[in-house]
Amino acid sequence: MFPELNNLLNITPDRAEQGKLTLLCDAKTDGSFLVHHFLSFYLKANCKVCFVALIQSFSHYNIVGQKLGVSLTLARERGQLVFLEGLKSSADVFFQAHGEPHPLQFLREASPGNLQPLFEFVREALKPVDNGEAAWRCPVLLVDDLGLLLSLGVGAVAVLDFVHYCRATVCWELKGNMVVLVHDSGDAEDEENDILLHGLSHQSHLILRTEGLATGFCRDVHGQLRILWRRPSQPTAQRDRSLTYQYKIQDKNVSFFAKGMSPAVL
C-alpha cells in the first residue's frame, strides 16, 4: 500500500471505514496500481479478501504484492485470501463435471445470462466462519476489472445487478467493503461501458479517477488522480468533496503532489 495515498484518503489499516463501495476508474492511463494498493492495504488490515481477478494471473499480483510487503501465497494458504483467477478457471468451465454451476458459467451460455453463480461464489467465499471467533476483521471484495465482463458478452444491466447484490451482501449485510475497477474508454460509441460506469458511480461512496495528462506523456508526472467523495453520511456544505492530485509511479511507491508541484518541476 502507498502511505501517501492513505494520507490523502485519510484512512489507515487500523481505521478503515466499513460498508463502502469504492470505484476505481481510469481514462487514458493505467489505474491498476490502485488495485495493488487496496489489495495490500486490506491484507495488512487483517481483512478477509475475495479477489475476482479477471485480467492478470496470480503470479503477477503476487510479484507486485511482494514489493508492497504482502505475500499473496501466504495469505491464500492462511485462508485470508480467496482468489478467483479468471484466466485459469475459465478453462475449468468446460472441463468441470456437472454439479454446482461454475462462477464463470456465463461463458458457456449462448444468450447473455446473469452473474448469479459469480455472486454465489463471492457470498460463499466471504460468509463468516461459524467457529464463533472472528478471525478476520471485515470482508472485502475486489474485482479487476468489471469492464471485461462486458467484453465477454454480459450486459451492462446484468453487471450492475451483480454489483448491486454484492453491495447488499458484502457492504450492507456483512459490513465489509468493495473495490471495483472499470476502464473509461472515453469512446462515445461504447454505450454499455458508459451505462456501467455511470451506474457504478451513482452506487459508489468514493470514486478514484486516474487520468492521463491532457498534454501527453511525461517522464516525471505519470497522471492525475481525482478523488470524489459521494454520499457522505451527513450532508454538509463545507466538506471537501473533490480533490485532484498528480502522481508519479516508482518501483515500490507512488508519490502524490498537488497539481504543478512535481519535484522535478520545482
Which residue ranges make up the site for other proteins (CB under 8 A)? Answer: 114, 116, 119, 157, 160-161, 164-165, 168, 172, 194-195, 198-199, 201-203, 207, 228, 230-231, 233-237, 241
Looking at beta carbons only, is 49 or 159 nearer to other proteins? 159
- DSSP one-letter code for 189: T
Quick one: 50 or 163, whose CB is closer to other proteins?
163
CB of 200 to other proteins, least distance (A): 10
Please report how close the Cβ of residue 21 comes to other proteins at its closest, in angstroms.
11
Check if the beta carbon of residue 77 is closer than 8 Å to that of residue 63.
no
228's grid cell: 470524489
Q: Which is nearer to other proteins, 76 or 230 (CB)?
A: 230
Distance CA 117, CA 21 (A): 21
Give me the least distance between CB of 160 and other proteins, in Å please. Answer: 7
Give the SS3 label for residue 148.
helix
The count of other CB atoms within 10 Å of the CB of residue 218 is 15
Q: Residue 202 Cβ, how far from other proteins at the closest point, in Å?
A: 5
Rounded Cα distance between 160 and 265, Å, is 42
**3-class DSSP assignment, residue 3:** helix
